[in-house]
Structure 1
Amino acid sequence: MKRCAIFSVSCLQTILHNQCLSFASNCLPFFSYRSCLYHGLSSSSTNIRPFPDYSPKKPTIRDAEFVHHISTTIKLRRSESLRRILKSYESKFRPDHLIWIFMSIKNDYKLVLDFFDWACLRREPSLEARCIVVQIATASKDLKMVHGLIREFWEKPNLDVSLSFTNFAEKLIYTYKDWGSDPHVFDIFFQVLVETGMLNEARNFFDKLLTYGLVLSVDSCNLFLSHLSRNFDGFEMAIKVFNEYPEVGICWNTTSYNIIINSICQLGKIKEAHHLLLKMEFRGSIPDVVTYSTIISKYCHVGELQKALRLIGEMEAKGLKANPYICNSIILFLCKNGKLFEAEKVLREMMMQGVVPDNVVYTTLIDGYCKLSNVPAAYLLFDEMRVRKIIPDFVTYTAIIHGFCKAGKMTEADNIFHEMVSRGLQPDEVTYTTLIDGYCKTGEVKKAFSLHNQMARKGLVPNVVTYTALADGLCKQGEVDIAIELLQEIHSNGLQLNVCTYNSIVNGLCKSGNIVQAQKLKEKMEEVAGMHPDSFTYTTLMDAYCKIREMDKAYMLLQEMWDRGYKPTVVTFNVLMNGFCLSGMLEDGERLLEWMLEKGIMPNTTTYNSLMKLYCIRNNMRATTEIYRGMCAQGLMPDNNTYNILIKGHCKARDMKTAGFLHKEMVAKGFLLTASSYNALIKGFHKRKKFVEARELFEEMRRQGLIADREIYNLFVDMIYKEGNMEVTLDLCDEVIENCLVRSKNEDM
């Protein structure tokens, strides 16, 4: 007989996401079967009880005649409505009659169900009668009906669970021998107990069946395991069940191991989980793709990619193909480490192997690209999803909206937002706050407040992040007083402000030139709100002092920050480094770099760029080159700014060979020259009589939409005029007028 299926792949994947919150260390290792007897029960057959004989109350002669009339009537007139043909019997019908009639019609399953439904319309049937119908339905292989009949009983209001369980279990056992004798009935009863959360009752029922020599199916036990392992209270029992049930005849299968392995992984016991996987095959259970994907995912989560890749190799050697869950785990690991190119490569390779990526895989990559500000790459994947008929969900749309907002492309973000709504997906507080923040950052504060109002009309409650974005937008427009009023209002309404909210106001005050008030607000954070300024607060104030060349005050803030136990970030040091360099304080900048290294704070590329820029200004290219080499020795890669600084420095030093080499290198790495770097290279090549190189760069600069300075335009206007190309000469003259005269005049105005 085919057992009732409990788990499908999708169901199992759902179970694998249920997180157990604790693990008893004294339960490990738990992979060896115990030799002890289950709950003290002997495995000897002498202790097995027989199922009881069914012995109902005997009907009286009058009752027997009444039952015979009804039984004969419903058999002969089965095509007619029971309500109509039994109308004359209703007044005399009692619950006892129901069971006696079942005895007469029990071999006609459809008639049993119809008559049971008719009886239920009159009054609630007895528990014994319900159990009889359950037994008959089980014997007729109608397991869905069995499940419904049992489940219906437990959904009654005001049910005494403990008493009802005892009565139901007893009646089910009492009616078993004579009415069905199909053990599946106990499986289904056990499953309903588990599904309704009656786990203690389920375990007691399992124990009770053992006394009758019956062991439930492994599918039912797997369902029990999965429900036990969903919370702390049941996890130790799940381990105990996993250990003890084999002693009474349960043979765990792959699904069983998958449930326990997932629970162990969720608790960070990855080594124990891997150990159990290795032992599965010796116990007759073959690991499947779910087994491997669970452990692979955990290895990726803890950053052990090589172990994950080895497991993938082992899995494929056994003929198992990686699924989207594995694909997403690898991609998520790579995305978290900023390796988006490698992550997408994994996606393409797995697609070539026949793995169909799902929504989660694409969303992971899209979110990764957006966080790295590579929105074009994210949008290509977003478009690819739609082409492949993979429907973007709420999270996907929010990720791409965030990417466009971060890039300041609010028209595109708004279009995606409306597409999301048109597809029936409802934006939440995160989506609205993302758009509000985007509009505030682009100076469109009115649109941001319009979205805030729309959000409120939909019943969504703006949070502190929403109001922080609005306050930041107001500050960027110089409306600092309004921003402070807004925050005071929401604070009075009970919304707890956080340090980020205050930082947005501090930043706004600093940008509007009101550093004194910003400093007072920092002090107010501690005195009134009871909040401590963080590294961002100090860094913002230091940056403001650096820009007005008050380096002593900036340095004092750094010292205060350090004394109060706030560890400065590399951004903090970069702000100071840039301030020293802007003020021409090269020696102070060098000392700051030494101090960073002493404190264990590794400088980044931006730190070195500031020093290189100042050395270039002083025309000390030897020192610049030494700093560049030191940066590379630290494992730091040059960025776009690095190359532009070096190229301009070497051009100024008339070292066009090195400048040209650096230009080729940066282009090969995908970096772009700035307008000032183009100008420096063009002038340098022209002075060296390398007119071809200069002209190629000039044309390239124009294609990039960058504006050359007037001196360069004059050089090429003369050069092209002498060549006799009047059309190009006139075009250049128009560009000179537009770019160098008209724009300069407008800027002066």
Structure 2
Amino acid sequence: MYLREGCSLLLKVQKPSIPFVLNTNLNGNFLRDGPNPAEIKETDVVKRLRQESCVPLALQFFKSIANSNIFKHTPLTYHVMIRKLAGDGQIDSVQYLLQQMKLEGFLCSEDLFISVISAYRQVGLAEQALEMFYRIREFGCDPSVKIYNHVLDTLLGENRIQMIYPVYRNMKRDGFEPNVFTYNILLKALCKNNKVDGAQKLLQEMSNKGCSPDAVSYTTVISSMCMLGMVKEARELAARFEPIVSVYNALINGLCKNNEFQEAFGLMREMSEKGVLPNVISYSTLINSLCDSGNIELSLSLLAQMMKRGCEPNVHTLSSLVKGCFVTGKILDALDFWNRLIREGLEPNVVAYNTMIQGFCLYGHMDKALSIITRMEENRHSPNIRTYSSLIAGFAKAGSLEGAASIWNKMLTNGCCPNIVAYTSMVQVLCKHSKFKEALSLIENMSEERWSHAVAAFNALIKGLCEAGRLDWAEKVFREMEQKYRCLPNITTYNEILDGFLRGNRIKEAYDLSREISMRGMEWSLPTYNTLLHGFCSNGVPALALQIAGKMLVDGKSPDGITYNMIILAYCKQGRADIATCTLDRVSYGGGNWRPDVISYTNLIWGLCKSSGIDEAVILLERMMREGVFPNIATWNVIVHCLFDKLGQISPVHGILDEILSQDQLNSDSNQTCEGTDRILQAEQTRHV
């Protein structure tokens, strides 16, 4: 079912090189199908080679002609055949033909040599392309600025930054002045390596040498600055030259990444004021970011404005709206946009298909997701790793091991190497089915080079083991992560094992582990504090919980609702309901973003019932309902338990029972038995954590 990376299904398939032997026997079929052999001309051969779409057949025809006595290849026929082989990435055959040209005394033109360099680039052999370039004069071709630019661009494609500048120096030493294309390649190389300061200096150098930067130059630098979060500096740079739409689009994209939508809309207005019309990229960039943030209404308004101004949406625009509808739960609207995309004749691309698949997987509609991948394949779009990982994650979320395994096997069969998302999702679904050995085996089947990046997969395994109560095994995996697999645990790893220890009432191990986090210099996350608060409260050590709360304040972490609820519960378990009341009041009237919820009030009502009696609890219950927080079954259980514990006080609070009986919550749960206040509260807290 699983394959190690490097096994046959995961290897990149290389095209077999065609044995190139010119002294083969003449195949008459190739000649009989064409013109009369006695009348074969250069134009006939060139036409036949260009019209033949099958490269092996074209090559066989070329060899047959070479072995005949009726035609001798010319520089043009060599050029046509070499370009055809170069376009197909057949480097060995290209080199052989170049050597044949050299032996026959034919010169290699500038354009042909550029085709050869492009062939090397196509198959990812930048270093060999450079070696071929240094032999350029052997083939009767002199270097030129154009050829230098293609060599530099090939090196840039593989980010061979250490080779680019020596070639550039050689170019200047050969007496060639760089043109705007040369400079743009150097700018891309600098920006690709986050050296935007150097890129800005190069822009200035271009101007000083009389080579004015073009739209590509400015867009390259400004896009890179925006990607690095330097939007303000990018805007200052853009203000120095005549505005162009591509630069505005880069700035809009940078602002959208920072969720600065007002500023992005301001740029759109500025474009119109300066006579630069926003294009489909301008609108689509903003619509996509609005959809990502869940602001689907505003993105729809922008779509209407876009169409009103005569700018038609493209597949990227509609894909973004599909994604936005899924994010906000509007599945029918997502389908409407998808159908519109099809209806308007826009061919969905792989990104669009993946958006639909991911959306259906998000809501568990796996049958619909599978129907989309079927349509995708019918339209000759190959699923990629995002397609497969989305489906595996969807089946894992639904708990379907069979479905996840089926997609996993299909992914490997199609030669697509799984990523960490796919591995993690498979580990999750295996753990749901208690197949822990298989989950660990799956992680081990990753290549050793990828173990260090497998922390999410290990976290999923540890979580599954902890939830199943296999704490010793979980702890073993936790320790072996670093020792055996060279994968450093992160704070989420510690949170999972902490939660497992605390659920298993292993207080000392949890406390020691919390100290280990600090000793390793790792910063506690909010879930770390809340996990410890909940665990210590649930295990009857509220004093430790309050110590954790104190550390949280000292560390400058902002509590959330879970934190406050745990602090209130901890004080109540210590019999200090008065301090818990002060805490709730401070949160209620402190002007913060969070307000006490039903758990906060229920915890405090329980504490008051234990320490102060039913009267104060009833007063708090009335306040709770006045503030629009309605009791749930746990709240009423606390009150009922308190009444029965204090039978002598039933008469004064007789009206409470009528209030209880009138509540929908109790009517809907009339058959639920009271299993103990502490257990109910613990269950409620666990659910919210």
Under TM normalisation by the shorter chain, which class is it? 0.5 to 0.7
Aligned partners of 1:299 and 1:305 also within 8 Å: yes
- Report the aligned-residue RMSD: 5.8
Aligned partners of 1:312 and 1:322 also within 8 Å: no
Aligned partners of 1:340 and 1:365 also within 8 Å: no
| 2:286 equivalent to 1:357 | no
Q: Are the structure 2 counterparts of residues 675 and 356 from structure 1 closer, same or farther at C-alpha, using a change threshold of 3 Å?
A: farther
Structure 1 residue 272, shift from structure 2 partner: 1.2
Structure 1 residue 330, shift from structure 2 partner: 2.2
Question: What is the alpha-carbon distance in structure 1 between the residues aligned to residue 240 and residue 332 of structure 2?
Answer: 35
Match of 2:25 in 1: none
SS of alignment partner, residue 213 of structure 2: coil
Alignment of structure 1 residues 216-227 onto 2, 5 Å: 216=144, 219-227=146-154
Question: What is the alpha-carbon distance in structure 1 between the residues aligned to residue 260 and residue 334 of structure 2?
Answer: 12
Q: 183, 188, 212: which is aligned to 1:286?
A: 212
Q: 550, 554, 563: which is aligned to 2:510?
A: 554
1:251-292, CA deviations, whole angstroms, 9 ceiling, x for partnerless residues? Answer: 613x33211111111122111111222343343333333222
Question: What is the alpha-carbon distance in structure 2 between the residues aligned to residue 83 and residue 147 of structure 1?
Answer: 24
Question: What is the alpha-carbon distance in structure 1 between the residues aligned to residue 49 and residue 408 of structure 2?
Answer: 58
Match of 2:531 in 1: 575
Question: What is the alpha-carbon distance in structure 1 between the residues aligned to residue 600 and residue 236 of structure 2?
Answer: 43
SS of alignment partner, residue 466 of structure 2: helix
Structure 1 residue 592, shift from structure 2 partner: 1.9
| 2:436 equivalent to 1:484 | yes
Match of 2:111 in 1: 188
Match of 1:305 in 2: 231
Match of 1:538 in 2: 494
Match of 1:605 in 2: 560
Q: 248, 252, 257: which is aligned to 1:333?
A: 257
Aligned partners of 1:229 and 1:263 also within 8 Å: yes
Question: What is the alpha-carbon distance in structure 2 between the residues aligned to residue 604 and residue 308 of structure 1?
Answer: 37
Q: Are the structure 2 counterparts of residues 522 and 345 from structure 1 closer, same or farther at C-alpha, using a change threshold of 3 Å?
A: same
Structure 1 residue 209, shift from structure 2 partner: 9.3
Match of 2:583 in 1: 623
Match of 2:431 in 1: 475
Aligned partners of 2:517 and 2:524 also within 8 Å: yes
Aligned partners of 1:551 and 1:580 also within 8 Å: yes
Q: How many residues are matched?
A: 543
Match of 1:435 in 2: 391
Aligned partners of 1:404 and 1:410 also within 8 Å: yes
Aligned partners of 2:148 and 2:171 also within 8 Å: no
Match of 1:398 in 2: 354
Question: What is the alpha-carbon distance in structure 1 between the residues aligned to residue 325 and residue 601 of structure 2?
Answer: 26
Question: What is the alpha-carbon distance in structure 2 between the residues aligned to residue 647 and residue 594 of structure 1?
Answer: 22
SS of alignment partner, residue 357 of structure 1: helix
| 2:167 equivalent to 1:235 | no
Question: What is the alpha-carbon distance in structure 2 between the residues aligned to residue 402 and residue 119 of structure 1?
Answer: 49
Match of 2:464 in 1: 508
| 2:325 equivalent to 1:376 | no
1:621-649, CA deviations, whole angstroms, 9 ceiling, x for partnerless residues? Answer: 543455689996xxxxx36x867777989
Question: What is the alpha-carbon distance in structure 2 between the residues aligned to residue 378 and residue 289 of structure 1?
Answer: 40
Aligned partners of 2:431 and 2:439 also within 8 Å: no
Q: Are the structure 2 counterparts of residues 116 and 597 from structure 1 closer, same or farther at C-alpha, using a change threshold of 3 Å?
A: closer
Alignment of structure 1 residues 663-742 onto 2, 5 Å: 676=632, 740-741=666-667
Alignment of structure 1 residues 149-168 onto 2, 5 Å: 151=83, 157=93, 159=95
Q: 177, 185, 201: which is aligned to 1:259?
A: 185
1:545-572, CA deviations, whole angstroms, 9 ceiling, x for partnerless residues? Answer: 4346654442122124444665543322
Aligned partners of 1:547 and 1:579 also within 8 Å: yes
Structure 1 residue 502, shift from structure 2 partner: 4.4
1:190-229, CA deviations, whole angstroms, 9 ceiling, x for partnerless residues? Answer: 434533555455466589999xxx994x545433432344
Question: What is the alpha-carbon distance in structure 1 between the residues aligned to residue 505 and residue 464 of structure 2?
Answer: 19
Question: What is the alpha-carbon distance in structure 2 between the residues aligned to residue 450 and residue 111 of structure 1?
Answer: 53
SS of alignment partner, residue 245 of structure 2: coil
Structure 1 residue 449, shift from structure 2 partner: 3.8
Q: 176, 181, 200: which is aligned to 1:274?
A: 200
Q: Are the structure 2 counterparts of residues 120 and 615 from structure 1 closer, same or farther at C-alpha, using a change threshold of 3 Å?
A: closer
SS of alignment partner, residue 745 of structure 1: coil
Greater mean alpha carbon deviation, residues 546-555 or residues 341-350: 341-350
Question: What is the alpha-carbon distance in structure 2 between the residues aligned to residue 377 and residue 286 of structure 1?
Answer: 49
Match of 1:70 in 2: none
Question: What is the alpha-carbon distance in structure 2 between the residues aligned to residue 153 and residue 393 of structure 1?
Answer: 29
Match of 1:722 in 2: none
AA partner of residue 438 (structure 2): L
AA partner of residue 326 (structure 1): A
1:426-470, CA deviations, whole angstroms, 9 ceiling, x for partnerless residues? Answer: 334543343233333333344334444555665656677545534
Question: What is the alpha-carbon distance in structure 2 between the residues aligned to residue 616 and residue 240 of structure 1?
Answer: 73
| 2:551 equivalent to 1:595 | yes
Alignment of structure 1 residues 454-465 onto 2, 5 Å: 454-455=410-411
Larger radius of gyration: 1
AA partner of residue 80 (structure 2): G
Aligned partners of 2:325 and 2:334 also within 8 Å: no
Structure 1 residue 235, shift from structure 2 partner: 0.8
Greater mean alpha carbon deviation, residues 428-437 or residues 288-297: 428-437
Question: What is the alpha-carbon distance in structure 2 between the residues aligned to residue 459 and residue 569 of structure 1?
Answer: 39
1:466-500, CA deviations, whole angstroms, 9 ceiling, x for partnerless residues? Answer: 45534433433xx43xx124246657878767554
Q: Are the structure 2 counterparts of residues 545 and 122 from structure 1 closer, same or farther at C-alpha, using a change threshold of 3 Å?
A: closer
Question: What is the alpha-carbon distance in structure 2 between the residues aligned to residue 659 and residue 314 of structure 1?
Answer: 60
Match of 2:22 in 1: none
Question: What is the alpha-carbon distance in structure 2 between the residues aligned to residue 517 and residue 646 of structure 1?
Answer: 36
Q: Are the structure 2 counterparts of residues 146 and 424 from structure 1 closer, same or farther at C-alpha, using a change threshold of 3 Å?
A: closer
Question: What is the alpha-carbon distance in structure 2 between the residues aligned to residue 416 and residue 119 of structure 1?
Answer: 45
Structure 1 residue 302, shift from structure 2 partner: 1.8
1:78-103, CA deviations, whole angstroms, 9 ceiling, x for partnerless residues? Answer: xxx9737x47xx9xxxxxxx9xxxxx
Question: What is the alpha-carbon distance in structure 1 between the residues aligned to residue 48 and residue 442 of structure 2?
Answer: 65
Structure 2: unaligned runs, 5 residues or longer: 1-33, 51-60, 121-128, 295-322, 606-616, 637-655, 676-689
Question: What is the alpha-carbon distance in structure 1 between the residues aligned to residue 632 and residue 331 of structure 2?
Answer: 31
